[in-house]
């Protein structure tokens, strides 16, 4: 398991993180702050537990509203002199049978998981492109982008689309702005029980993961810092798979000793 510390230095850099009130996003904010960055984050609601760092500033912003995100990014840039890193973390979707999902629900899922990060990336471009070191965008996608996602078709499609946007923008905006993504596997957060069921169900899921456990939020955050760091200046258009080795193929029997 991760120690929670990182070797990367983000001193004097400004990092913007969407969906930072809880879970993976909250840990990403903390990791950047511990690495010396000034962090701006947003969520639709005020975090129930305030951050214990004066390096992190929270705002209430609906990332699906382009006017709201334009204004928020401008405020972040004005307050700090520019933006060095954008982490598109906000996302998620309920599990629902696709034949029963309303058009309204599907559009909301696509708006949050694909449209919002794509639009935010285009909006932050102006705040990065003229900076001395350019900028870095990291998109949080999911293992759902690489395999079938029954009862989550819109979510899987959105994350697959975001992976394509990652590589497309990396080509279009290089060399000034790097764009990468983290392909997150199954992660332990405060919502783990809601997503993965009881202990028996979670044990069955873990059996299919080569690492034999869920990821921690710290491990996802460290992947984000690696991609965002200037030390990784030749990494762009990449998908960093932080998912414990993937899944054991269902068509291949496990060894008896496994």
pLDDT in tens, 122-165: 999 999 999 999 999 999 998 888 888 899 999 999 999 999 99
pLDDT bin (cut points 50, 70, 90) of residue 213 is: confident
Instruction: Establish whether 155 is a catalytic residue.
Output: yes
Report whether pLDDT(1) > 70.
Answer: no
Q: What is the DSSP letter of 187?
A: B
Say yes or no to pLDDT of 191 above 70: no
- Give backbone dihedrals phi and psi of 184, rounded to 5 degrees, phi first: -85, 135
Is the per-residue pLDDT at 188 higher than 50?
A: yes
Give, as one character, the DSSP assignment of residue 49.
S
Say what the pLDDT of residue 248 is: 74
Q: How confident is the model at residue 196 (pLDDT cuts 50, 70, 90)?
A: low
pLDDT in tens, 5-28: 668 999 999 999 999 999 999 999
Inter-helix orientation angle 23-34/217-228, to 10°: 50
- Contact (CB, 8 A) for 90 and 43: yes
Q: For residue range 50-73, what is the model confidence (pLDDT) as tens digits?
A: 899 999 999 999 999 999 999 999
| CA 235/CA 178 separation, integer angstroms | 7
Nearest to 74 by CA among 137, 136, 14, 34: 14
**Residue 86 or residue 203, greater confidence:** 86
- The whole model's pTM is what? 0.91
Q: What average pLDDT does this structure show over 17-46? A: 95
The full set of domains in the chain, from first to last, is: 14-186+218-240 (3.40.50.720)
Whole-number pLDDT of residue 132: 94
- The rounded mean pLDDT for the chain is 90
CA dihedral 44, 143, 221, 181 (to 10 degrees): -90
pLDDT in the model for residue 146 = 81
C-alpha angle 204/208/212, rounded to 5°? 90
């Amino acid at each position: 398991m991760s120690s929670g510390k990182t070797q990367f230095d983000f001193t004097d850099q400004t990092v913007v993180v969407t969906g930072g009130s809880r879970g993976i996003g909250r840990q990403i904010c903390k990791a950047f702050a511990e690495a010396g960055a000034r962090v701006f984050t947003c969520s639709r609601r005020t975090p129930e537990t305030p951050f214990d760092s004066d390096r992190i500033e929270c705002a209430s912003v609906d990332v699906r509203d382009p006017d709201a995100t334009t204004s928020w990014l401008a405020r972040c840039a004005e307050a700090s002199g520019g933006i060095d890193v954008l982490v598109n973390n906000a996302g998620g979707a309920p599990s629902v049978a696709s034949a029963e999902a309303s058009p309204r629900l599907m559009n909301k899922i696509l708006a949050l998981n694909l449209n919002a990060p794509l639009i935010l990336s285009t909006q932050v471009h102006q705040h990065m492109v003229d900076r001395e070191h350019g900028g870095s965008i990291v998109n949080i996608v999911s293992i759902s982008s690489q395999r079938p996602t029954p009862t989550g078709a819109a979510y899987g499609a959105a994350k697959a689309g975001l992976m394509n946007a990652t590589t497309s923008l990396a080509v279009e905006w290089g060399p000034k702005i790097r764009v990468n993504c983290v392909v997150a596997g199954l992660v332990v957060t405060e919502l783990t029980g809601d997503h993965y069921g009881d202990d028996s169900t979670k044990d069955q899921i873990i059996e299919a993961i080569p690492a034999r456990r869920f990821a921690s939020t710290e491990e996802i955050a460290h992947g984000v810092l690696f991609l965002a760091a200037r030390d990784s200046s030749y990494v762009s258009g990449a998908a960093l798979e932080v998912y414990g080795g993937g899944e054991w193929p269902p068509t291949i029997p496990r060894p008896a000793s496994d």
